[in-house]
Amino acid sequence: MPEDGPGLFDLPAARSGGFEPARLTQARARRGISKAELAHSVDVSPAAIGQYEAGVNSPRPEVLDRLADALEVRPGFFGVGRPFARIDAVNAHFRSLRSARVSDRQKALATATFVWELTFALERCVKLPEVDLPTVPAGTSPAEAATLLRQHWHLPEGPVKHLVATAESKGIVVAVRPLREIDAVDAFSAVIVDRPIIITTPRRSENVFRHRFSIAHEIGHLLLHGECGEHNSSVEKEADEFAAAFLTPAASMDAALPQRLDVAALDRLGRTWGVSPKSLVRRMVERARTTESSARRAYQRLAMTDDPLADPTSSYPGEMPSLLRKAAALAGDYGTGAPALAEALRISPAQVRDLLGDADQRPVLRLVGDEG
């Protein structure tokens, strides 16, 4: 966060009723609804919602209750006195650059702030891994940064085992959120109060190789781009280059890649290194083992033979994050379970479990006539 930006813990002076306007914006953004839509649901004017969020007026108690119902939080959620992470879109690295609207990014960031707030609440009773990312000097290439990180994390030569667990052990919070929350931005990363957070989706995590590359891509952003605030294809390309160099170092690939473009051999090699054959085809181009035209033909063959159901990795649940769930379980052992976390965050225990990644497995009862 910029040093001259709004302080993450600098809560404004208590207003009438202890209402924190930014909390209303946060809750509304996470739900992805407009001021007009919220105004309609709570029976006030859109201008009133704007005044609440601008801090010009505070909602009456009965309106506050309706706002809480509409936004699925407790009325106390809007109160002052809790740490609040303020983050701007320029401080996050969004994968999708063209399709994501400002509102999409705000919605994704609101999700990230909820994840951070849960992390912060957990840290009050559980000591989480310290953030362990090296400082990368300006001008460092993606490949050099990948080598630096491997050395800093003391990773042995060869495949990176369980990348998500490795990242979490270095203090990076990883969360897989439902598509409805971040579908438009797909995956992104940000540093919130010195805590790096990577948010991804079930679409990214459904294939373990794709998920690993996606996580490595976001780590590349965290290392190389920090708070640069640039969102362009060049930055995304650098993150891809970092991911390839980190997961499949050039020296190792020079020894392991086949001499000719053999898709079957690349498939076997990919399963050893935890990367897709397509990624290795790209690596062969980068290591001057094949040409772009040959690579395009290989991509076409891979697309024709791609059968997710026949892929033996399709039954593997993938490298799912576990840091927050384990921290919550430990906190629960010491008396701070989901209800206590929910009270701290002013949301429901079910929402806490959702943020932890614990899907509600209960069957859904639908009464006749539910569909109208």
Q: How confident is the model at residue 362 (pLDDT cuts 50, 70, 90)?
A: low
Query: Who wins on pLDDT, 129 or 4?
Result: 129
* Rounded-to-integer distance, Cα 205 and Cα 359, Å: 15
232 burial type by CB count under 10 A (0-12 exposed, 13-18 middle, 19+ buried): exposed
Query: Who wins on pLDDT, 196 or 371?
Result: 196
CA dist list (Å): 108 to 29, 114, 188, 227 = 8, 10, 9, 17
Domain residue ranges of the chain, discontinuous segments joined by +: 15-82, 248-308
Find residue 19's DSSP bridge partners: 79
Checking phi first, is residue 72 left (phi over 0); if not, alpha (psi -120 to 50) or beta?
left
pLDDT digits (tens, 9 = 90+) for 50-87: 999 999 999 999 999 999 999 999 999 999 888 887 77
pLDDT digits (tens, 9 = 90+) for 255-284: 999 988 998 999 999 999 999 999 999 999
Block residue for tokens 């159901």? 309
* Rounded-to-integer distance, Cα 178 and Cα 95, Å: 16
pLDDT at 202 over 60: yes
Find residue 198's DSSP bridge partners: 174, 189
Which of 105-119, 277-291, 355-369 shows the lowest per-residue confidence on average (mean pLDDT)? 355-369
**Residue 73 tokens, joined:** 């939080």
Find residue 199's DSSP bridge partners: 175, 188
- Would you identify the CATH topology of the domain 15-82? 434 Repressor (Amino-terminal Domain) (1.10.260)
Average pLDDT, the chain: 87
Q: Are strands 173-176 and 195-200 parallel, antiparallel or unpaired?
A: parallel
Which of 69, 67, 90 minimizes the C-alpha distance to 17? 67
Please compute the mean of the pLDDT values over residues 207-213 and round it to a whole number.
90
Q: How confident is the model at residue 1 (pLDDT cuts 50, 70, 90)?
A: very low
Residues 244, 246, 249: CA angle, nearest 5 degrees: 80
- Sign of torsion over alpha carbons 119, 167, 174, 314: negative
Under a CB-based contact definition with an 8 Å cutoff, are residues 29 and 107 in contact?
Answer: yes
pLDDT at 4 over 80: no
% of the chain beyond a pLDDT of 70: 87
* Rounded-to-integer distance, Cα 132 and Cα 63, Å: 45
Query: Who wins on pLDDT, 214 or 304?
Result: 214
Block residue for tokens 């009723």? 17
pTM to 2 decimals?
Answer: 0.86
**Residue 266 tokens, joined:** 């690349």
Query: Who wins on pLDDT, 347 or 88?
Result: 347
Please compute the mean of the pLDDT values over residues 309-328 and round it to a whole number.
80
Amino acid at 287: R
Please compute the mean of the pLDDT values over residues 93-111 and round it to a whole number.
79
Under a CB-based contact definition with an 8 Å cutoff, are residues 149 and 219 in contact?
Answer: yes
